[in-house]
Structure 1
Amino acid sequence: MDQAVTRQQEDIQRPAGRSAQTTQRGLAPFEDPLALQAAIGDFLSKDAGRPIVIERLQKFPAGFSWITYGVKLRGHPRADDMILRIGPPYGLFAPYSAMPEFQSLSALEGSGVPVPRAFAASDDHSILGAPFFFCERVAGDTPLPWGGGDGAMNDARRESLAADFIDSLAALHNFDWRRTELEQWDPSITVDNAADRQLDFWWERFQRWALRAHPMAHRTFAWLRRNKPRAPRVTLVHGDYRLGNFLEQDQRISAILDWELVHLGDPTEDLGWAFLPQYRGGTRMVCALADEDAFLTRYQDKVGYKIDRAALHFYIVFSLLKLALTHMAAARCFEDGLFNDMRMPAMATQIGPVFRQIAKIMERSS
C-alpha cells in the first residue's frame, strides 16, 4: 500500500488561528460540521501531498458507538468516496483507539476476507478531536433476510450469502496474522490463555459499566471461568460477526464491516456470537442464513479442524454475557448524560431477559 497514504500522520500541523482542540464555538472539530469538513480537507491534503476538496459529508444516523460519515471528495489519488469513522469520548465503548480496526483492515487487504481498503488513521485528538480512520466506501446494502418485497430472501440468494458468510469467517480464522504488525497486539497470547484474556477484558468493562449489583453476571463469569476451553488455534477474531455487519451486492458479500471489537483470540468466539438467537430473525438458521449443521460442516472443511461442541456452547454463553454487558454500557451512557437517545434505556430493559437466557442454558448444562 502507498505509505504516504497509510501512515498515521501524527505530525499534522493545524492552520493558523484554529485551535487544535476546539473550534471557535468551543466544540471539538468532529462536533462542528464546518470545522470537521475543513479539518478533513487539511488532513487528507497533507496525507496525499496534494490539495483535496471535500465536496460533501453525509452523517449516517445508525449506531451508538463510532460516528460514521460518508465523505465525497475530489483530487484524492486513491478514492472519490470514503468512509470516515470517529470514536467520540461519549461512545458506547469509549475510550477508543482507531488503530486496531485500521491495522486489521490494512493487514487483511487481499487476504480473501472481503474488507474495505484502509487509507489513513490517527489517535491524535488534535486533528479531528477524537480517534478516527478513513476507509473505502464499498458498494452494497445491508440485507434483511426476513424482509418482504424487493428485500425478500429466496433460497438462491440465501445460499449464496451463507456460503460467503461462512467462507469469509473461515478465511479470517485461517489468516496468518503473525506475519503482520498485528503480532504486536498481544505477544503472550496462547491457546491456553485466550479465553481468560477475553474474560478479563469483559470483567473490567462490567466493573466500569454496571449501575447496580448484578448477581447473575457474577454467576455467569464464575461458570465461564470453570468451563473455559482451550482454543484450537489463536486467530484474528472479528468480535461482532453477525447479520447486519456485512454488505451485499448482487447476492454476494461485498464487505465485512464493524471491526471495532477485533482482537486476537479463540476463533470459536466468533461462532458463538454468530449463533446467538438474537441474530436469527425469527428463523432456526444461523444469522437467518444457514442451518447450524450445514454451517459447521462448511466451516470445518475450510479451517481444517472439528469444532468442539462444548467450546461452542461456552462461547454462546459468553456471547450472551457480552450482549448483557453491552446493554449495561448503553444504560451507563444514558444515565451519565453522555447520549441523549431513548434507544439507550430501551436497550437496558434487555439485560434481564438476556440473563434469563443464560440461566436456562447453564441449568441445562448442569
Structure 2
Amino acid sequence: MTADLFDDIRRAVQRRFGSAARLENIVVPTLGGSNRTVAFDLVDGAARRRLVSRQETYVAPNSPFLPSDDQFRLLQVAFAHGIPVPEPVFAYEADDGAGHGFVTAFVGGETMPNRILGDPGFAAVRPRLAAQAGAIFAALHAIDPAEVDFLARYADSDDPIAAQRARLDSYDEAHPAIELGLRWLERHRPPPGPRCFLHGDLRTGNFIVGADGIAAVLDWECSHLGAGVEDLGWLCTRSWRFGRVELPVGGFGNRADLFAAYEAAGGARVDPDAVRYWEIFGLVRWAVLNVMQAHGHVFGGRRSLPFAACGRNTSVIEYDLMMTLAGRYD
C-alpha cells in the first residue's frame, strides 16, 4: 500500500502532535465491514505508540448504529469509569479531511470467535470469560445514565421492540418468522424497570481476549438505554455460540457463572425468565440486522460478499428463532 492512502490520517495526527509526527508500521485489518480500520505506530521523536483509526465508510438507511462522534463520547465515559476499552485518543474533526471517526489506543489480543472458542492457547482463559463479562456488565450498568443522556434520542432507547418492527417494515420484505417473533415479544413484554447504560452488542467477536481474559470491549455503535438484563440476554443469544450450543454464554460459559458474577459485582438480581425473553429478542434483532445488511448489498450500493451472505444468514436465524419459541432450543 502506498503512503498516499493514509494521508488523511497523517494530516489529522500531525494537527494534534506536530508536523514531525509520522506513521509507521501501517496495517489494514481484514475484518470490519462498515468502517475503515487502520492500525499504525505514531512515532513522535523517541516515543512510539500503537494506535487504531476507525472511520465511517457507509451509513445504511434506518441504521441502528450510532454515529462515530457519539461512539467516541461513550468510549470516553466507559474509559473514565474503568471499563476495559481501548483508550480514546481523539475524534476526527471537519478540518482533518478524514470524515467521521476516531483514533484509540491499540489493544493486543484475539477477536476471532473460532479462535477464542477453539484454540488450545485460550483453554485456560475460556472458563473465566463468563464471569468477567458479568462483572463488566455490572460496572457498565452502574454508570449514571445521565452521563450518556444523549442516547435517549435514539429509537432503541425509547422502545427496542418498536424499533425492530420499524426497521423491518422499512425494507418491505416478507419475513413471517420475524413477524412471529415480534408478536411474541409484544405479548410477553416485561414490565418497565430502571434504565441503564447498555453496550448493546457485547458478545463473542466484539471483545479482545488476551492472556488474562477480556482485555477490551469493542464496537459501541449499538449502545442505548434500557433494562440491564437486555445486555445479558444478547450475550446468551444462540447466534453468538458459534456452534457450541451447549455453552449458552457466547459459546464459552454457562448462565449461572454470568449471573452470579453480575450480581456479585453489584448488578441487580437476575431473573432467568427475563434473560430468556431478551435472548428471543436477540434473535429477532439479529435477523433484522441481517435483513438490513443484505438489503444494503442488493439495493444500497454496498455490494460485498459478507453482506450478501447476510441474506442466507437471515434464514438460519429465523429457524433458530422458531425452534426457540417452540421450546426445542435452549
Do the aligned partners of residues 288 and 222 (structure 1) sit closer, same or farther apart at CA in structure 2, a change above 3 Å counting?
A: closer
Residues 85-100 of structure 1: pairs in structure 2 closer than 5 A: 85-89=54-58, 93=63, 97-100=67-70
Residue 83 of structure 2 corresponds to 113
Give the 3-state SS of the residue equivalent to 1:349 in structure 2.
helix
Letter in 2 for 1:332: H
1:146 counterpart letter in structure 2: L
Question: Which one-letter code corresponds to 2:227 in the other structure?
Answer: D
- AA of the residue aligned to 2:191: R
Aligned residue runs from structure 1 range 149-168, under 5 A = 150-151=120-121, 153=123, 156-168=124-136
Q: Which amino acid aligns with 1:200?
A: A
Choose from 275, 296, 300 the match for 2:259.
296
Q: Which amino acid aligns with 1:75?
A: D
RMSD: 3.0
* Cα distance per residue 1:86-114 (max 9 Å; x no partner): 11126694886112210111011142310
Q: Does structure 1 residue 43 correspond to structure 2 residue 12?
A: yes
Residues in 1 aligned to 2:320 and 2:91: alpha-carbon distance in whole angstroms: 39
In 2, Cα distance between equivalents of 1:82 and 1:235:
30
SS at match of 2:6: helix
Matched, 1:201 2:201: no
Counterpart position of 1:186: 152
Whether the 8 Å contact between 1:113 and 1:169 is mirrored in structure 2 is no
Answering whether residue 144 of structure 2 is matched by residue 176 of structure 1, we say yes
Match of 1:344 in 2: 307
| Larger fraction in helix | 2
- Is the CA contact (8 Å cut-off) linking 2:72 and 2:91 kept in structure 1? yes
Pair 1:139 & 2:127 matched: no
Q: SS at the partner of 2:28?
A: strand
The alignment covers a number of residue pairs equal to 323
Higher alpha-carbon deviation: 235-244 or 342-351: 342-351
SS at match of 2:278: helix
Q: Structure 2 stretches of 5 or more lacking a match?
A: none
Q: Residue 236 of structure 1: which of 185, 190, 197 is its match? A: 197
Q: Are the structure 2 counterparts of residues 230 and 66 from structure 1 closer, same or farther at C-alpha, using a change threshold of 3 Å? A: farther
1:300 Cα shift? 2.1
Higher relative contact order (CA 8 A, sep 6+): 2
DSSP-derived class of the 2:27 partner: strand
**Bigger radius of gyration:** 1
Q: Following the alignment from structure 1 to structure 2, what is the Cα–Cα distance between the partners of residues 131 and 201?
A: 25
Quote how far apart the aligned CAs of 1:230 are. 3.2
For the Cα contact (< 8 Å) 2:110–2:116, is it kept in 1? no
Whether the 8 Å CA contact 1:195–1:228 is kept in 2: the answer is: no
| TM-score, L = length of structure 2 | 0.85
Is the deviation greater in 81-90 or in 226-235? 226-235
Amino acid in the other structure paired with 1:168: I
1:358 aligned to which of 310, 313, 321:
321
Tell me if structure 1 keeps the 8 A contact 2:193–2:227.
yes
Give runs of aligned pairs for residues 228-267 of structure 1, distance below 5 A.
228-267=189-228
